[in-house]
Structure 1
Amino acid sequence: MNARHGGPAPAVPTRRRGGPSRRLVRRLALVATCLAVLAAAVVVGVRALGAEPTVTLLANWTGKDERLFREAVIAPFEHKYHVRVDYQGSSAESQVLGAEVEAGTPPDVVVLTGPGELAEYARQKNLVALDGLVARDDFGPSWATPLADGHVYWFPLKADVKSLVWYPAGVDARQRAEAAKRPAQWCVGMGSGATSGWPGTDWIEDILLQQSGPRLYARWARGDLSWRSKPVRRAWTTWGGLIGAGGDRDLVRRVLKTLYGRASQPIATVPRGCTLEHQGTFIRKEDRWVAADGRYDPSARHIPGATGGDAWEVSGDLVALLHATPQAERLIRYLASPEAQRAWSAAESAFTVSAGAQPAAGSADSAWHRSLARVLRDGHAVHCFDASDAMPPSVRDAFAEAAIEYVAHPGHLEALLRSLDTLTDSPGLTWLPSVCDRTR
C-alpha cells in the first residue's frame, strides 16, 4: 500500500477489551497531528535560518543526463557536505539565465558551454572571480581563460573534442573516402530548438581550423579577421560542397528539419541511409553509435584542403559563480576537484582536462575513449575552443542563423558574411583574448 502525501498511511485502531477509548484515540491523533505540523514548521524555520544551507545550480542537462548528474555529482556532494543543491535543468539555459539575471534572481552557480557568453556576464560584473577557489594550473589556458582584468571566471567540468568524423565499425578507409564525396552520406541535422544551426557552425569552424591553421582561426574567433576574408569564405563553401547546400531539395529539407540528435539514425537502416557524422565526442554515447561500435577519423582526413596539422577544435561545459555564498563556494571547489571531475566523466563516458583527474594507466575505458583522452592531454597538439561559443552571444546566434540560411540558399553567402562583419564591428562587444592553448 502506498503512503499518502504527508506521511505513512495511518493504521485503523480496533477496539479491544481494556484498550483505549475512542475519545483518547482521537486526542492522541490530534496531538500527533499538531506535533507533525510543528515539526514541519521547525524544518521550514531551520532552512530559513540557514541551518540547512542550499545552493542553486543552473545547467543544460535534462532527462537522462540530469538523472546521471544528480546521481554521480550532486548526491555525493549533498551527502558529504550536508548542503542541498536546488538544481534547474533547461535546454534553453542561456535564455533562462538571461531572464533570471535581468530579474535580479540569478542562480548561485551556472554551467554554460559558451565562454563568450560568460565573458559578457563578467564584464557586466555578474560573475565572481574564482581566485582562491580554483587553481589555474589544474586546467589549461584555453579552458580557464584569464580575462583582461587578469582574473579567471570559469573552469570546465567536462571537455569534448569536435574535430571528429564518426563512422560504423566495418566501414573501411576506401569506403569512408568515397562516402565523404557524396553529400547524402553525411549524417547532418541542424535542428536544436532555440539554438538550431550550431552543428553548421561547428563544421565551418573546424574546416577553417584544418585548412588555415590555429593562428588564423584564433584571429577570427577574437573578431580580428573579416568574415569576407578568403579563408573564411573558403570554409563556408567547402562545407556547402560537402553537404550539398542548395542542391537536392529532399536532402536540403532533411538537413534543415532533422534534429541534430537524430541525424545519425539512418546509419541503422538497411540499406544504410548515411555513413559519416561530423560531431563531438558526446555523440558516441548515443544508442545508435554504441550499437554501430562507432569509430572516428580526425576530421582533417575528410576536409578538402586540410593542411594535416595536429589542431583540434574542443568544447566544454564551463562552471561559473554568480553569487558567492559559503555553500556556493564549496560547490565550486567540489566541481573543480578530481573527485567530481572523475565522477562526471565516468557517468557520461566523457572527458576531463583536470590535471589531477586523469584515468590511471590500464583503465577499463574503450580504445576510442582512451585515444581521445590522449588527444586532450597531448602537449604537442593545439587545442582551440569552439569559435562560435567563444564569440559574443549576438554574433554566435547570428552565425547559427546564417548557417541555416546558407544551407537553403548558398547564393546568399555574400550578404550573410557582410551582415556578420557589420555585427562583429558593433561597439560594446566582449571578445575573448585567447581561444587556443597555443598557436603555430
Structure 2
Amino acid sequence: MSAEPGGAAAAAPGTRSGPSRRLVRTVTVVVSCLAVLAAAVVVGVRALGREPTVTLLANWTGDDERHFREAVIEPFERKYHIKVDYQGSNAESQVLGADVEAGTPPDVVVLTGPGELAEYARQDHLRPLEDLVDTDDFGTPWAMPLADRHVYWFPLKADLKSIVWYPAGVGARQLEREVRRPAAWCVGMGSGATSGWPGTDWIEDILLQRYGPEVYREWVRGKLSWRSDEVRKAWTEWRDLVGAGGDPDLVRRALKTPYQLASEPVTATPRGCLLEHQASFIRGRPAWQRADGRYQPTARLLHGAAEPPAWEVSGDLVALLHATPQAKKLIRYLASADAQRAWSEKESGFSVHTGVRPAGGDAGSAWHRSLAATLRDTGQVHCFDASDAMPPAVRDAFAEATIEFLAHPSHLEDLLRSLDTLSATPGLTWLPSVCDGKGGGGLRPGNAGTRER
C-alpha cells in the first residue's frame, strides 16, 4: 500500500518536471545567443567606424607622439568620448598629398607650412575656422586671414629659431672664436623626404639678421630675386661659416647625418663639435640635455647684424578638412588654453596662446621660460620660417639646393637662377606677410608679381 501510493505520487511530479527543465535550458541558450549577437553588433558597428571618430595626421612620432597622446589626445578622448585615429609621419606632406589625391584626406591635419596650407585653402580643401577659434588668441603671423578674409589655421605648438646652442661652461670669448671655425658646427642635413631644411634655416636666419624683416618679407612674398645681393650674400656667409665645399670629412658628415643626431658629437670624447644652429625644440635631444645646453641669439654671433634683431619662428599649424561634429570639437579643444598649456608643459614646444602664461614644465626650466617669453614678447619682431611659408614647390627646391650647395658651392649661380625661374611660375600661391604686425592678409594667387633683378 505504502509502496504504490508512494510510487504513484512520485511518478506524477516527475512527469511534469521534465518539460520545465528543457524550457529553462532553451531560454538560457536563447538569451546567451542574443547576448553574443548584441556584442557582435557592437563590435561590427565599431569596425565599420560608426563609433564617433576623428582622424588626425601630424608629424609627431616617437617620444613626441607619446607626449602628444598623453598630454592632448587622451584627455580629449576621455572628456568627449570621441576616438582620435592618429597617424604620425615624418613625411606628412607627402602622405597628405596622396590622401587628398585619393579623396581620403584626414579630418584634421597639423602641418608646419603655412605656404602649403594656403595652397590647400585656395583649392577649397580647408574649412574656415573663425566660427570655431578665437583667432585673437594667437594673432599674426600665427593665425592670419587670407584674401577671402577667412582664417584656416592656428598653431598648436610654436618654436623659436634664430638660436645657436652650445654646452654649459663655454665662455663668451671661446664662443666668439669658435663661431668662425667650420669644424665647430654640428650640422646634420638629413630629414628623410624633407632633407635639407636645416640649411634653409641657416640661410633664412642670416638674411633676416643681416638685412632685417623688410627685406626678409619681400623675399618670402616672392618679390625679391634669389639673385639679389642680399640673398646671394646669405648663401655665401653660410658657406664660410660651415665650410661648404671645404674639408671633405666635414661636408660628408653634414650630408649624411640626420638633423636629430647632429649634436651627438657635443658630448663625445674628444668633443666632435661645439655649436648648433637649430630651433628651440632641439634642446630636448639627449646630447643637449647631457651638455646642459645654453643658447645665444644668432644676431649676437653675426658681426654686422641689423638692429634691432628679429626672430625667425616656426609652428605646427592645425587645419580642418572635414567639418564633422567630432572634428569641430577637436579643433575647439586644440585651440583651447588647456590643451595648449598641457602640450607646452611637457617642454615639447611652446604655446603662443594669449591665455597660456609662459612657463616650462613642472620645475620651470630657465631656458624654456626664457624662450617662451621671447616668443610671446610683443616688443620683438617674429617672422615665420621663410621656406615653410613659400609655395611647396619652391620650398622643396630650396631645401634640395642647400644640399647641392653644401657639396658644390661653385654651383650657386645656377641654383639661384633655377630658384628664380621656379618662383616666377604662374599659379603659385604666395603669402602676403610672415612677420607679426607687418603687411596685411591675403592670398596672392598667380604670378609672383614684380621681382627685383
Q: Please state how far the C-alpha of 1:304 moved relative to its aligned partner.
A: 3.8
1:118/1:274 CA distance change after superposition, 3 Å: same
1:265/1:362 CA distance change after superposition, 3 Å: closer
Q: Please state how far the C-alpha of 1:362 moved relative to its aligned partner.
A: 12
Question: CA separation in 1, counterparts of 2:105 and 2:420?
Answer: 32
Q: How does 1:124-143 map to 2 (within 5 A)?
A: 124-143=123-142
Q: Please state how far the C-alpha of 1:349 moved relative to its aligned partner.
A: 3.7
Q: Could you tell me whether the CA contact under 8 Å between 2:244 and 2:408 is conserved in 1?
A: yes
Aligned to 1:228: 227
Q: How does 1:248-327 map to 2 (within 5 A)?
A: 248-327=247-326
Q: Could you tell me whether the CA contact under 8 Å between 1:167 and 1:275 is conserved in 2?
A: yes
CA RMSD of aligned residues (A): 2.2
Aligned to 2:21: none
After TM superposition, the score normalised by the length of structure 1 is: 0.91
Deviates more, 1:329-338 or 1:34-43: 34-43
Q: Could you tell me whether the CA contact under 8 Å between 1:208 and 1:231 is conserved in 2?
A: yes
1:129/1:29 CA distance change after superposition, 3 Å: same
Task: State the secondary structure of the residue aligned to 1:347.
Answer: coil
Q: Please state how far the C-alpha of 1:105 moved relative to its aligned partner.
A: 0.6
Question: CA separation in 2, counterparts of 1:74 and 1:255?
Answer: 36
Aligned to 1:115: 114
Q: How does 1:36-55 map to 2 (within 5 A)?
A: 36-45=36-45, 50=50, 52-55=51-54
Q: Could you tell me whether the CA contact under 8 Å between 1:58 and 1:89 is conserved in 2?
A: yes
Question: CA separation in 1, counterparts of 2:88 and 2:410?
Answer: 39
Q: Could you tell me whether the CA contact under 8 Å between 1:382 and 1:439 is conserved in 2?
A: no
Q: Please state how far the C-alpha of 1:28 moved relative to its aligned partner.
A: 7.5
Consecutive unaligned residues in structure 2, runs of 5 or more: 1-23, 440-453
Q: Percent identity?
A: 70
Q: Could you tell me whether the CA contact under 8 Å between 2:160 and 2:314 is conserved in 1?
A: yes
* Superposition misfits of 4+ residues, deviation over 6 angstroms: 27-31, 360-363
Question: CA separation in 2, counterparts of 1:157 and 1:319?
Answer: 6
Report the number of matched residues.
Answer: 417
Q: Report the AA paired with residue 389 of structure 2.
A: A
Question: CA separation in 1, counterparts of 2:292 and 2:307?
Answer: 26
Question: CA separation in 1, counterparts of 2:204 and 2:30?
Answer: 69
Q: Please state how far the C-alpha of 1:29 moved relative to its aligned partner.
A: 9.0
Q: Could you tell me whether the CA contact under 8 Å between 2:359 and 2:369 is conserved in 1?
A: no
Q: Does 1:352 align with 2:347?
A: no
1:237/1:359 CA distance change after superposition, 3 Å: closer
Q: Could you tell me whether the CA contact under 8 Å between 2:183 and 2:273 is conserved in 1?
A: yes
After TM superposition, the score normalised by the length of structure 2 is: 0.88
1:255/1:49 CA distance change after superposition, 3 Å: closer
Task: State the secondary structure of the residue aligned to 2:323.
Answer: coil
Q: Could you tell me whether the CA contact under 8 Å between 1:214 and 1:439 is conserved in 2?
A: no
Structure exhibiting the larger radius of gyration computed from Cα positions: 2
Aligned to 1:377: 376
Question: CA separation in 2, counterparts of 1:37 and 1:348?
Answer: 48
Q: Please state how far the C-alpha of 1:266 moved relative to its aligned partner.
A: 0.4
Q: Report the AA paired with residue 420 of structure 1.
A: L
Q: Does 1:77 align with 2:76?
A: yes
1:131/1:362 CA distance change after superposition, 3 Å: closer
Q: Could you tell me whether the CA contact under 8 Å between 1:112 and 1:317 is conserved in 2?
A: yes
What whole-Å deviation, never above 9, does each CA across 1:96-138 have from its counterpart, x for those lacking one? 0000000111000000000000000000000001021111110
Q: Could you tell me whether the CA contact under 8 Å between 2:115 and 2:429 is conserved in 1?
A: yes
Q: Please state how far the C-alpha of 1:181 moved relative to its aligned partner.
A: 1.0
Q: Please state how far the C-alpha of 1:434 moved relative to its aligned partner.
A: 1.1
Consecutive unaligned residues in structure 1, runs of 5 or more: 1-23
Q: Please state how far the C-alpha of 1:149 moved relative to its aligned partner.
A: 1.1
Q: How does 1:53-68 map to 2 (within 5 A)?
A: 53-68=52-67
Aligned to 1:188: 187
Q: Does 1:431 align with 2:422?
A: no
1:259/1:288 CA distance change after superposition, 3 Å: same
Q: Could you tell me whether the CA contact under 8 Å between 2:344 and 2:360 is conserved in 1?
A: no
Q: Please state how far the C-alpha of 1:237 moved relative to its aligned partner.
A: 0.2
Q: Does 1:408 align with 2:407?
A: yes
Task: State the secondary structure of the residue aligned to 2:410.
Answer: helix
Q: Could you tell me whether the CA contact under 8 Å between 1:160 and 1:350 is conserved in 2?
A: yes
Question: CA separation in 2, counterparts of 1:79 and 1:103?
Answer: 32
